[in-house]
Structure 1
């Protein structure tokens, strides 16, 4: 089973050598021979995330479909019990799935990918989502519940992710209890901000410390800030934006003052130079909403105020990604991951993000071949195609290298 089990078309992206490396680096290599090896369980957890509505044993049947016809099974072999599979998942733990996601998930848009870039920079967005989990004492202890005196009926995990807007690929993520804020998790993500990125974020994620950390990376930033942050005008620019400075609101001591039309504003020491873009948008009530953006792109020649205002709305693509995961992949936000322990819950969430990435990778390849925008291909159709591939091809070796003699690949479990 170790040599022949796979996950169909997804094995092109997640080959068995990569899985074995993640298992080894996580220190989860088996000390004795088992039917449910670490590699098999890694693929099995990925299959769980593809077949969310099926039971443990049914997913194992789909994963091993076709092996009998290949002569790879003894006639007296039976599908492992739920208890055996659960113990194998506990032995595996979270770390191999996390390592596998970190090594596989990369921005996938090419230079010509439609709607993926602004002046050569990849459009990326940061946002968060909460997953409801199985109602167990272990999950409650590990993740907690929101609600205070009127708690949620289920424990909840918070996930903050960095998403490539043009392809809907999640390329970095952090998982934690529901009490861990998106800001707190975002503090661990700037390491994923790269030279060719333009990172978008909503007002709820801005803080002075986060901005300082993110602006120190090679990426450019366009973040919305709350309107109560009233930066002074240092120099007006011809496109309607203006240069300004923002300081640390927690820092005390000497202040610098800057003139702004109609009033005087103060900024504390340790100022950071930014460019500010302000505009109004209509809302449903017939009124207008004021939007204030700050950016590290100080020169209007690199991106005008109108372009930055338009591109910032691409951050909603991150919301679409979470909708794909919750509604189409999981079958609805009320359907919880199966895991009853924090370690396997994190394992399952990493696998959920990894399978979503694999679906989006296939979608992006199809869009490139057809020369169309990736957004024109629905998430549902490639997901269904991949599920069919798993049941039809699960018995093919997940090896990416050359073929070996069949007698070596068709071992009895």
Structure 2
């Protein structure tokens, strides 16, 4: 798109009070933004009212438009409009496609088959391990992994896709020039280099609670389906799942412990008809997608962990732990071990990657799900 055309799009979309719905109404009535601005106040007022018509023709956002054009001129940056041939077709199928998309990285990923992965920010170690392993398998199978760059499951999904040298898209609830949360700054930079950071929000937009539900509809809209890895009952991940269902996308959920708050959202989705998933292959088969490469399956338990668990005493402790978080007192009663002996074994298992130490002094066994 030429700079003058993009300038008109930016001028339209950066007017406060004229949101996506009114933008689409104007585009439907007059065509491209250039024609909107030349239509005259009376004609525009028939579509969006007199007050907004006056605002549209008098509001001065030239500095903001210039800043966006300068950003788009930098290597790796791109602003897509609804009229752009490169605008993702998957979003055009949804009820509320953004008029503009700010993309940083490999925009060609927007045309690749994708699967969304979302879940709890306060994820369990097992949940993060699951997210990484599933994402690695999906990326190895040729699917682009879409998520929201949040802490916990989102970050683990992005890392899993990158580990497999696959594509990943981070849809953010801020401007594409902002990084949120700050703890994911290094991950965001890596995604911008090897994947794509995407936003519908103007440059400089800070994080705000009402931005993230809008962000979630893009995560689901870009994808063939949404896999919820862990989620509480009040999680935004359930919003993403609902939006996916409304958009005609598949919804998948991984079950968890009945005692875990981060499993209750997944169990709720399964009760509502989401497909229960135990392996990456379950999702790939449901999507009628080719199996991941068999060689070096990323969803296998690390060899070092298997070797460390071979010792009889360690195996006894792992078997006694089950797969729910457990405190040492309960574990000592289950195994009959003294506190000193138990902590020595727990320390070795933690070092070998077989378990994780949780808040409150509890431990949880970590396994990576099979992709088969």
**TM-score with structure 2 setting the length:** 0.30
Hey, which of these two has a bigger chunk of helix by percent?
2
Hey, which of these two has a bigger chunk of strand by percent?
1
